[in-house]
Amino acid sequence: MPEARGKDDADGVQIDLISGQRMDEMATMEKIRMILDGVHDGKIVILEEGLTPDEESRLIEVTMTEISPDEFNGIEIETYPKSSANNSSLLGRLMGNSESNAKLTVIGPADQIETLHKDETLISALVSRN
């Protein structure tokens, strides 16, 4: 992936916004690898369309295997929860696809991103530099 500036190049936090189209072309393990490699590098990864439940389950599993004391504590992940009254996205419902899983997802290193507030319409997070 082309990178404007690496984490070491600037006194800041790199954010990668990844389109649904780019994710569609990848296999499950490629997605998980890309997310965790980014997070290991201290990046905040934002997925336009999130992961499927099965991919989320595998992401948790692989994250656990990579946790290492004093090096990597795991991930912080936030998505917009689907409310019962709105079990699919507007687009999904218009297309008649009630199984749409598209949900904006933010993933970052657990020791650098802290969720301050979350409700059904807002995620407020504090991102710190290591």
Partner 1 sequence: MGLFTELKDSISRVTERLFSEQEPKRIGIYGPPNAGKTTLANRIARDWTGDAVGAESHVPHETRRARRKENVEIERDGKTVTIDIVDTPGVTTKVDYEEFTDEMSKDDAIRRSREATEGVAEAMHWLREDVDGVIYVLDSAEDPITQVNTMLIGIIESRDLPVLIFANKIDLEESSVKRIEDAFPQHETIPLSAKEGDNMDEVYDSIAEYFG
Task: Please give the residue ranges that form the binding site for partner 1 (CB under 8 A).
Answer: 52-54, 56-58, 60-61, 63-65, 67, 69, 73-79, 81-82, 84, 110-111, 115, 118-119
- Structure tokens of 104? 């904006």
The residue written with tokens 């290492």 in the block is: 68
Q: Which is nearer to partner 1, 1 or 64 (CB)?
A: 64
Residue 67 beta carbon to partner 1: minimum distance, rounded to whole angstroms: 5
Query: Beta strand 15-18 with 44-47: parallel, antiparallel or unpaired?
Result: parallel
d(CA 8, CA 21): 28
Please list, in sequence order, all residues whose beta carbon lies within 8 angstroms of the beta carbon of residue 97, skipping any fewer than 6 positions away. Answer: 88
Residue 6 beta carbon to partner 1: minimum distance, rounded to whole angstroms: 24
- Structure tokens of 100? 């749409």
Query: Beta strand 44-47 with 105-109: parallel, antiparallel or unpaired?
Result: antiparallel
Q: Which is nearer to partner 1, 48 or 56 (CB)?
A: 56
Residue 48 beta carbon to partner 1: minimum distance, rounded to whole angstroms: 18
Residue 123 beta carbon to partner 1: minimum distance, rounded to whole angstroms: 10
Q: Which is nearer to partner 1, 5 or 65 (CB)?
A: 65
